[in-house]
Chains A and B, each alone.
Chain A
Amino acid sequence: MTARRGLILGIGNLLLQDEGVGVHVIQALARAAGTPEGALPPGTETVDGGTLGLDLLPLLDGVDGLVLVDAAQLGREPGTVAVLRGDELARVLGGHVSAHQVGVADLLGAARLAGALPGRVSLVAIQPAVVAPGLALTPEVAAALPAAVAAARAEAWAHAGADAP
């Protein structure tokens, strides 16, 4: 039996302000990974997926639990963080809500068709305020970063079948 593998995959373009929030979350997770409160389940990897789209498919090979982190048009206040799983996730992708609608939907669709879709998939979605050239997150989205980081970590632990320590 092979060890269980988890992947937290942040998607986004760091050059488009809040659009890059998924990558900011990955950076924060990686910074905290050595601390007791920042620990991730064993066998969990964090990856900055940038805007690579379908080129991310190989990363899903052998992954049991996938946590995607991405900016998404939730129709809520900027900085709103939502966690979507199962049918909710299917509806969101069917409705093209994510700011990376093509990238994320294509990635998961291709993985499903190729028989490589992880058994557990969650999307931590963050409502952006501004998607325009620029390096910094807006204050609303920056303020939501801790909640998004905590949500991604909690999902990874839930996939591993345990509560976060």
Chain B
Amino acid sequence: MARVVVDPITRIEGHLRIEVETKGGIVTDAWSSGTMFRGLELILKGRDPRDAWVFAQRACGVCTTVHALASVRAVENALGLVIPTNARLIRNLIAGIQYVQDHVIHFYHLHALDWVDVVSALSADPARTSDLAQSISAWPLSSAVYFKGVRDRLQAFVDSGQLGPFANGYWGHPAYALPPEANLLAVAHYLQALDWQRDVIKIQAILGGKNPHPQTYVVGGMAMGVDPNSPTALTVRRLSEIAELTARARDFVEQVYVPDVLAVAGFYKDWAGHGAGIGNYLSYGDFPEGAPDDPRSFYLPRGRILGRDLSKVLPVDQASVAESVAHSWYTYEGDETALHPWKGQTNPKYGGPKPPFDTLEGSATYSWLKAPRYEDQPMEVGPLARMLVAYASGQADVKTAVDDALGALGVGPEALFSTLGRVAARAIETSLLVNRLGVWQRDLEANLKTGDLAIADTSRWDPTSWPDHAEGWGFEEAPRGSLGHWIVIDKGSITNYQMVVPSTWNGSPRDAAGHRGAWEEALIGTPLADPERPVEILRTIHSFDPCLACAVHVHDPAGGPGVTVSVV
């Protein structure tokens, strides 16, 4: 048995550590550890519930907006508020463009290098790259001259020795399967996506005041002017700017991202047989298109699938969610190891080895993540879960898009239960949502034209109108998966607040019954061509889009490489 440790090198979004045991080049067991304490729940206690979203949103600067939305929904649920149509549509637009930007960034900037060998791109023939590009898409930037330019720039970049974002790649690893031309195509689109993403997210700044962390939410709706006669309001000009940005987003998704994913997937069909994991899928559903609190109106439906059985979509009840701390660095008062979030506690109690340590082996508790469970079962959340729930629910757009993608790859629905399935589901979802943005934008324009300028229900803004005690929950489907905030309000203040986030579902440690979390289970059976360079582990973990930064830990020898500095 050999133990392979994958540990963080960046600290911006948080820390993730994966330890696996291997036998004969195959992963036989896995442990997922969140190595950073969050504790935002403690900061929220005692505060005004109307302010909670501003604090909660700061849980992450990458998943911006999603915690704000879950938070205002939790308070609205507790107070029985129903947001107006304009607010519903604006929230859909902000969340929708967040998905589109986030999924594209994830593929090109966080995940592609697990599949794309940048150094191999240097030996690509620009003319053949151009042929390949034109065979999969009508995207105009596809001439041999263009690809030669990219290759030359890449060559100069590699020659400089400063590989920047590519510094820690496993270039030349035997698990890379793309021909040089496909690698060059992906590198070119990696660069284009950098430019594209900063443009399209302007939608969030137009509607949210800024990005990241939009500032226009309010409990009961949105805090922005929609009177077309006011120059500071959401004017016709701003709406048409949103429409233009949406069109640009759609072109890139349909002509670059989706064709690239299908092309890359075609070379990695073996990954339709790896990384399935637990096979239970949960989606809270989102994007209301009618009554905002009625899941039947959601564009992406709510539901649950157990044991990969697509013939049944089971209901979702917030009361069935509980978090276990049996293997986590927390204690609960009494002997409870699983608590519903309204009763949830955040009492840190580190029980791991003294840092710095080489391994968590032998430590019964091993993560700052709790273990959320639905009726005691671990669940996978995220784009694949959403697409499977929608597919099994018969959502027509999803069914068509999924069947088309499966047809293009020549595989059956069982291929979805895999690492490759996650990558494909994310692309399918992006393509559906970027088209849906246009529908919501037109609905918003049409609704404003009827003279309906309601933007927030402020009837219960005054805390004296609240009951002494109220409990609420807010569900949101973040790009990374199901997000829930639970709130308890007593006499106008927060007395308990618990956030159960997507990467806690997916990255959870074992629970009291010993069930592994989704990442842990998904890694079992993964082949490792070279345990010193475990790119295969990164493929599966990154396919979940973890919100904890995950990278292979590089031990710099003491002192590091020689650096001479001129001291001022």
> Interface of A with B (CB < 8 Å)?
51-55, 57-58, 74-76, 80-84, 88, 90-97, 101-103, 105-110, 112-115, 125, 147, 151
A residues less than 8 Å from B513 (CB atoms): none
A108, B163: Cα distance in complex, Å: 9
Interchain Cβ contacts under 8 Å between A and B, 17 examples: A54-B194, A57-B198, A58-B198, A76-B565, A81-B567, A83-B568, A90-B162, A94-B167, A95-B560, A103-B12, A105-B167, A106-B164, A108-B164, A109-B167, A113-B154, A114-B195, A115-B153
A102, B167: Cα distance in complex, Å: 9
Taking CB as reference atom, which chain B residue is nearest A113? Answer: B157
A26, B565: Cα distance in complex, Å: 22
Q: From the candidates A51, A54, A75, A112, name the one contacting B160 in the complex (CB within 8 A).
A: A112
Contact A94–B568 (Cβ < 8 Å): no
A residues less than 8 Å from B153 (CB atoms): 113, 115
Chain A CB within 8 A of B191 CB: yes
Contact B164–A76 (Cβ < 8 Å): no
Chain A CB within 8 A of B410 CB: no
Chain A CB within 8 A of B166 CB: yes
B residues less than 8 Å from A112 (CB atoms): 157, 160, 162, 164
Contact A110–B165 (Cβ < 8 Å): yes
Q: Does more than half of chain B's interface fall in helix, strand or loop, or is it mixed? A: loop
A129, B198: Cα distance in complex, Å: 35
As a 0/1 sequence over residues 524 to 568 of chain B, the CB contacts with chain A under 8 angstroms (1 = contact) are 000000000000000000000000000000101001111111111
How many whole Å from A105's CB to the nearest CB in chain B? 5
Contact A108–B162 (Cβ < 8 Å): yes
A125, B568: Cα distance in complex, Å: 10
Chain A CB within 8 A of B109 CB: yes
Chain A CB within 8 A of B9 CB: yes
Chain A CB within 8 A of B10 CB: yes
How many whole Å from A86's CB to the nearest CB in chain B? 11
B residues less than 8 Å from A106 (CB atoms): 164-165
Q: How many residues of B contact A (CB 8 A)?
A: 32
Chain A CB within 8 A of B231 CB: no
Chain A CB within 8 A of B161 CB: yes
List B residues 166-196 near A (Cβ within 8 Å). 166-167, 191, 194-195
A residues less than 8 Å from B163 (CB atoms): 109
A-B contact count (CB 8 A): 98
Taking CB as reference atom, which chain A residue is nearest B556? Answer: A96
Interface pairs A-B: 8 shortest CB-CB: A109-B164, A95-B561, A82-B565, A102-B10, A106-B165, A81-B568, A113-B157, A95-B560
B residues less than 8 Å from A108 (CB atoms): 162, 164
Given contacts A95-B560, A102-B10, A113-B157, A74 and B565 within 8 Å (CB-CB): yes
B residues less than 8 Å from A147 (CB atoms): 568
Contact B565–A109 (Cβ < 8 Å): no
B residues less than 8 Å from A83 (CB atoms): 566, 568
Q: Does more than half of chain A's interface fall in helix, strand or loop, or is it mixed? A: helix
Known: A95-B560, A101-B9. 16 other contacts (CB 8 A): A52-B61, A54-B194, A55-B198, A57-B198, A88-B564, A94-B161, A95-B556, A96-B554, A106-B164, A110-B165, A110-B194, A112-B162, A113-B154, A114-B191, A125-B565, A151-B568
> Interface of B with A (CB < 8 Å)?
9-10, 12, 61, 109, 153-154, 157, 160-167, 191, 194-195, 198, 554, 556, 559-568
B residues less than 8 Å from A151 (CB atoms): 568
A residues less than 8 Å from B191 (CB atoms): 113-114
Contact B566–A94 (Cβ < 8 Å): no
Given contacts A51-B12, A54-B194, A114-B191, A95 and B567 within 8 Å (CB-CB): no
Contact A84–B565 (Cβ < 8 Å): yes
Taking CB as reference atom, which chain A residue is nearest B561? Answer: A95
Given contacts A54-B109, A83-B566, A95-B560, A105 and B162 within 8 Å (CB-CB): yes
Q: From the candidates A55, A58, A82, A114, name the one contacting B566 in the complex (CB within 8 A).
A: A82
A residues less than 8 Å from B166 (CB atoms): 109
A50, B256: Cα distance in complex, Å: 31
A55, B62: Cα distance in complex, Å: 10
Q: From the candidates A57, A82, A90, A109, name the one contacting B568 in the complex (CB within 8 A).
A: A82
A97, B562: Cα distance in complex, Å: 10
How many whole Å from A136's CB to the nearest CB in chain B? 20
Q: From the candidates B154, B162, B559, name the one contacting A75 in the complex (CB within 8 A).
A: B559
How many whole Å from A42's CB to the nearest CB in chain B? 25
A103, B167: Cα distance in complex, Å: 12
B residues less than 8 Å from A75 (CB atoms): 559-560, 563
A55, B153: Cα distance in complex, Å: 21
How many whole Å from A87's CB to the nearest CB in chain B? 10
Taking CB as reference atom, which chain B residue is nearest A55? Answer: B198
Contact B165–A90 (Cβ < 8 Å): no
Taking CB as reference atom, which chain A residue is nearest B118? Answer: A113
Contact B165–A54 (Cβ < 8 Å): yes
Q: From the candidates B12, B162, B567, name the one contacting A80 in the complex (CB within 8 A).
A: B567
B residues less than 8 Å from A81 (CB atoms): 567-568
Contact A109–B165 (Cβ < 8 Å): yes
A108, B166: Cα distance in complex, Å: 12
A74, B9: Cα distance in complex, Å: 18
A residues less than 8 Å from B565 (CB atoms): 74, 76, 82, 84, 88, 92, 125
